[in-house]
Amino acid sequence: MNTDALTRVALRYRAVLLDINRKDINLSSTTTVPVMALVRRLKENGFTVNEELLHALNAVSANRLAQITECINEVMGVNLNWAPLVRGWDVPTGETLADHLITWIANIFGEKAGFKGTRLPCGHLIPDGTFPLERYNGCPFCGTPFRTANYVYQGQASKLKELRLFTIDDLKHVYETLLTSATPLDATQTDSLALLLDKFGLPQKVDIPIKETAMLVVKRLVAQGKDDEAACLMKTPTDVLRYLWYEKTGYVQIIEPKTLVGHARKLYSHLWGPLDRGADAAESMRQQLRLKYDRRACLRVARWLNALPMTAQQAAENMNPKRAMWVRMIHALRLGEYSRRKGFEHLAQLLDVFYHQDYTTWQGRVDHARANNNADLTLSLLQERPGLFARCLFATMLRFGGEKVTEAFAQVTDQLPARLLLSLINAAEIYFDPQAERVVRTITGVMHHMGANKLLALYSKKELEQMVELVKRLYRDSMSRRFAAQPTEAKTIYIDPTLRNIPVAVGDRSTTLQDMSCALLGTRFPVEGDNVRLFMQWGKDLPAQHLDMDLSCRISLPNNQIAECAYYNLTCVGAKHSGDIRSIPDKVGTAEYIELSLPELEAAGASYATFTCNAYSVGALSPNLVVGWMDSAFPMKISEGDGVAYDPSCVQHMVRISEGDLSKGLVFGVLDVAQRQIVWLEMPFTAQTLRGADQASIEALLTKLANKVTVGQLLELKAQAQGLTVVDTPDEADESYPYEWALNPAEVTQTLIKL
C-alpha cells in the first residue's frame, strides 16, 4: 500500500500518520532541526501541530518528514499554476463589450481592412485602443494563457488548523468506523474506505449495517478474488441483485432499467443538448445493461443464493418487488443449470417457489388494507416491519390521522436505527408545510422539485403544526430512552460550540472529495476578515487544450434584485473577477478567482452570495478540478506582476471533483452576509452558466440543511438523558467532544446514531 495514500487519508481527519507506538513517544525530547523545518512548512500551508505530534515527529526519519511535506504540498496545490488571466485583477481592467466586438470584427477582416494592433501567440489580433494588453497574462479575447506562475503566497492566515498524531491503530479505528457507519458514506469516506480496505483487508467479524457500504466492500473483494469473504455480506437476494446492479451500472440503488434509460436520456439532453443518431444516451445505457456473464460470475452468484440464511418462501418474497429483473438475471446467470447440480438444493427450491409464485407478499397485504381504509389492519401490518413504517410515516399520518398513527409507531420506534428517526425529524417541518419547496437528487445527480402531498390541503395550519410536534416528540422520547440506557460513569461533558453548526450526517451526502478535512454538508464557517476569496484550479496533468471552466457568484440584493460576477460581468457590487480563461496550459493547469468584499455587500443590503462553478465547453466539470474559498482577518495579497492570489494557509474549505461526476455545474457555498458565515452545501445542476442554478432549489436546500439536527443538539439531548453537567472546557469534563472528533462523521454515528 502506498504510504502517500495513507497519509492523505489521515490528513482528511486533520492528522499526520506516523508508524510508531504512542507509548514510545518521549514527551521531553528536544525538537530537531528537520522537525523545526517541517513545522515552518506546515505553518506556511496553514497548519500547526499539537504537542504530542511535535514530540512524535522527533522519532521519525528525515525522509519521512520530507514525504509528509510533499504530500501536504500536493494536497494544498502549492506546486500548481495559480496565475489568472489578469494581472493585479483587484483593479478592474475596464474592458467592455465593445472591446470584444471590435476585436471580433478585426479578426474577421484583419490588417488589410485598416485594423492596427498586436498579433498574439494564439493568432488573434488585438486592435489598438481596445484591451490594455499590459494587464493580461494571455489573450483577453479567447482566454488562452501565455504565462504561468511557479509560486503561491504562504503564511498570511490569521488562524492555523491544528494537526494531531495518527498511528496505524488510529487508522484501523477509522477503517472500522467507516465499515460500521450507521449512515451511508459520502465520496470522501468511500475513497478512504477503498484505500484502507486494500491495506487492512476485511476484518473477520464485522457487521456492516449499510447495504451501500457492503456493496462497495463486496465489489472490492470480488476484484481481489475473495468470493467467499464477500459471501458473508450477502443476507438476502436483494443484496445479490444490488451487487449485480452496482457492478453493471455503478449505481448502488436499484431502479428499473426503463427508468434508468429515461434518466440517461434526460441527463444527456441536459448536458449536451438534443439527442441525435450519433449520440443516443438511451441506446448507450441499453448496451451497458446487456446481461452477459462468464462461468465464474455465474457460479459465484449461484453459491451466494444457495447459501442465503432464508427459507425459500422468504427469499422469493424478497425477490418479488424486482421480479422482472430477477427473471432476466436468472436466465443470464444460468441459475437453472446450477440448481440441478449436487449441493445446490436450496437454490433449486428457491427457484421453484419463485417461478410457481408459491408465496405471499407483505406489501400486497398492506396495500390491500390501505385501499380499503382499514387503519387498524394497516398499522398492525406496518408494525411488523418498523423500517418500512418509518419510510411511509408522514403519508400514513395524513391518511389515518396523526395521533392514531404516531401512537402505533411509538410502539416500534426503539426497534429502528437512530438514523431513520433523525431523517424523520429533519424532514418533518418541510413535509408538513404546503408552501415549502422540496428538492431531491436522483442517482444521476439531477436535482428535482417535489410537490407537496395533496392530502395536506385537508388539514389546517394548526393541525399540520401539531403533526410536526408529534414527530418531534417521537424522536425526543426514543432518543432519550436510548441515551439513558447507555451505561456511563461520567458526570460532566464538554461540547465544542462549533458542533452546534455541524448537522448530523443523515440524508444529504457530498459527491466531491475533501482532501483537507471532512466537513459535513450544511457546516457553517465563520468569516474572520472583510474579504472572502473564491478560487478554482483545473487542468492539472492535462495537455494544453481548450477546456473552459467558469467560476461565478450570484449576489442577492434588496427588492429581488440580482448581481452577477462571472465571465460576462467581471465586476459588480461587492465582487471582482480575475478574468475568463478558456484554455489551459500544458500539465500545470490554470486558475480563476473572485474577491468578495463584505463591507460593500453589507452597504448594498445584500443577503446572500452564492458560489458556483460550471463547465462551459465540455459535458461535465473536469476531474480533479479544485474549488473553494479563502478567508483571513489579515489582508490577503494579489500579485501585481501576474495576479497570483492563492495562499494555502488561508484556505477555509475546498473540494475536488472526482472521476465519474457528471455535474455540469455545482453550487458549493453560500455566504450569509448578515451572519458573516459561509454555509458549505453541494448542489449539482446541469447548466453551462450561473444562471442555470435554480435559486428556488438553492433556498430549499438551505432550508433543509438549517432544519437538520446538529451534532451539538444531539449531544445536549444525550447530556440531558444521562444527567450530565455541561462544562465550558475539555479539562473539566469526564466526556469531551471537541471539533476534531466531528471530523470523522463515521465516529459521530458510532457515538450518537448507532444506538
User: What distance in Å separates the CA atoms of residue 667 and residue 409, rounded to the nearest whole number?
Assistant: 38
Give the pLDDT mean for 373-398.
94
User: What distance in Å separates the CA atoms of residue 180 and residue 233, rounded to the nearest whole number?
Assistant: 13
Contact of 31 with 71, CB cutoff 8 Å? no
Give the pLDDT mean for 640-658.
94
User: What distance in Å separates the CA atoms of residue 34 and residue 64, rounded to the nearest whole number?
Assistant: 10
* Residue 755 confidence class, pLDDT cut points 50, 70, 90: low
pLDDT of residue 437: 67
* Residue 447 confidence class, pLDDT cut points 50, 70, 90: low
User: What distance in Å separates the CA atoms of residue 536 and residue 624, rounded to the nearest whole number?
Assistant: 11
pLDDT of residue 754: 64
Give the pLDDT mean for 662-687.
83
Residue 316 has pLDDT above 80, yes or no: yes
pLDDT of residue 181: 85
**Residue entry with cell 427508468:** 259
Residue 111 has pLDDT above 90, yes or no: no
pLDDT of residue 44: 95
Task: Kindly state the percentage of the chain with pLDDT values over 70.
Answer: 89
Residue 642 has pLDDT above 90, yes or no: yes
Range from 31-45, 428-442, 574-588 carrying the lowest mean pLDDT: 428-442
* Residue 622 confidence class, pLDDT cut points 50, 70, 90: confident
Residue 388 has pLDDT above 50, yes or no: yes
SS3 594: strand
Range from 83-92, 271-280, 384-393, 401-410 carrying the lowest mean pLDDT: 271-280
Ordered domains of the chain (ranges, CATH): 3-75+157-166 (no CATH), 97-130 (no CATH), 362-485 (no CATH), 492-505+709-753 (no CATH), 524-706 (2.60.60.30)
Residue-wise pLDDT for 260-299, tens only, equals: 445 444 444 443 444 443 344 444 444 555 778 999 999 9
Name the pairing type of β-strands 683-685 and 735-737. Answer: unpaired
Distance set, CA 190 to CA 175, 212, 222, 528 (Å): 11, 10, 17, 32
Task: Kindly state the percentage of the chain with pLDDT values over 90.
Answer: 62
Residue 148 has pLDDT above 90, yes or no: yes
* Residue 696 confidence class, pLDDT cut points 50, 70, 90: low
Angle between helices 312-319 and 237-249 in degrees, nearest 10: 40
Looking at the DSSP bridge assignments, the partners of residue 656 are 513, 626
* Residue 490 confidence class, pLDDT cut points 50, 70, 90: very high
pLDDT of residue 281: 44
Residue 685 has pLDDT above 50, yes or no: yes
Give the pLDDT mean for 596-622.
90
Residue whose C-alpha is closest to residue 74's, from 21, 8, 148, 172: 8
User: What distance in Å separates the CA atoms of residue 697 and residue 91, rounded to the nearest whole number?
Assistant: 34
pLDDT of residue 271: 39
Give the pLDDT mean for 597-622.
90
